[in-house]
Amino acid sequence: MIIVKLFGGAKKTFSTDQIIVNQDNLTIKELLDFLAKTKPKNTNELDTNNLLVAINGVDSSTIGGFSAKLKANDVVSIIPIIHGGSTRIQFLIYNKTVEIFAIKKQNPNIEFLDKLREKFPNIIIQGISSNFILGPSHVKKIILLSLYAKKNNILLSKKLETDIIMRFAGTNQIIQAIKIVGVRNNEDFIIVAIGKKLLLDRLYDYLKSFLTTLPKNNQSFLKKQFNISSKHLDAASSKTPLEDLLTERAAVLFR
């Protein structure tokens, strides 16, 4: 038996938030194929290119992706991702709307971030140095871990935003995390924002003039920063080995 938990659009597709599948030893792909065949007629298809799939709270991409084998009593969470337009990167995890903003360097950056939090107190806002971002998929996987930790009351700190920065840094020390991946003055940075869609729309309108593009290639920097060798990458069974090794590093911080 496999327990499938559905979120967002997947929940609407099946008109339920949980399905019991009385089969074992399926791969994630076989499970998704089974769900696609058994879903109610005249409902939206599951877009497998825009899903986060977690097995017992762990992102499946870190343990084999769609080839990962499921065992009896595994809990599989299926979380559709929603995207904004070309200038917005937005997705849904555990019914929480998350948006990523790439911000041009401000003087000073830290003061800019503090004022933003004051202006939008009902949005969770965290800043990350642009050097530590591989791309949207990398951010999604880290935020999935932090939101899973919050949902299960196992955050690394009392605040979700602190848990996020610690997972990007791969450390359970708050001061060390801020030192490693925190926002620095005179550098571009990334804002991760979590809140209601209407509030995120207001935040986007406010940030329009400060936006820049996401970094395109931080692989060399991140490999050096986290001592990840070509041998480590070659050993990872994944299409995105560096991204998944960084996610795995973040995942092992669970207490």
Question: What amino acid is encoded at 12 in this protein?
Answer: K
pLDDT of 85 above 70: no
Task: Please identify, among 37, 56, 80, the residue that sits at the C-terminal boundary of a domain.
Answer: 80
For residue 123, give the CATH number of its domain: 3.30.2380.10
pLDDT, residue 255, reads 56
| 97 and 216 inside one domain | yes
Element of type H or E holding 155: none
Contact 103, 211 (CB under 8 A): yes
Residues 105, 55 share a domain: no
**pLDDT tens by residue, 221-241:** 999 999 999 888 888 777 788
Domain co-membership, 59 together with 123:
no
- 32 and 149 in a single domain? The answer is no
Question: CB-based contacts of 170: which residues, under 8 Å, 6+ apart?
Answer: 226, 246, 249, 250, 253
Looking at the fold, whether 110 and 180 belong to one and the same domain comes out as yes
**Domain range enclosing 29:** 2-80
Distance CA 145, CA 156 (A): 11
Looking at 32, 59, 80, the residue that finishes a domain is: 80
d(CA 16, CA 199): 28
Instruction: Tell me the two tokens of residue 5.
Output: 């938990």
Separation of alpha carbons 171 and 194, rounded Å: 22
pTM (2 d.p.): 0.72
- Residue 191 has phi, psi (to 5 degrees) of -105, 130
213 and 97 inside one domain: yes
Distance CA 149, CA 163 (A): 9
Determine the pLDDT at residue 181: 95
Average pLDDT, the chain: 87
Q: Work out the percent of the chain whose per-residue pLDDT is above 70.
A: 96
- pLDDT digits over 44-84, tens only? 777 776 778 888 878 787 777 788 889 888 999 888 765 54
Give the SS3 label for residue 136: helix
Percentage with pLDDT > 90 across the chain: 45
pLDDT on residue 254: 67
How much is the average pLDDT of 11-34?
87
Identify the domain boundary among 55, 80, 105. Answer: 80
- Characterise 227 by phi-psi region: left (phi > 0), alpha (psi -120 to 50), beta (else): left
State how many domains the chain has: 2
Q: Which pLDDT band holds residue 100 (cuts at 50, 70, 90)? A: very high
Do 96 and 72 have their domain in common?
no
Q: What is the pLDDT of residue 82?
A: 58
* Tokens found for residue 114: 């503090």
Helices (H), 6-108: 8-14, 28-38
Task: State the amino acid at position 81 in one-letter form.
Answer: I
The 10s digit of each residue's pLDDT in 121-157 is 999 999 999 999 998 889 989 999 999 999 889 999 9
**In CATH, what number is assigned to the domain containing residue 74?**
3.10.20.30
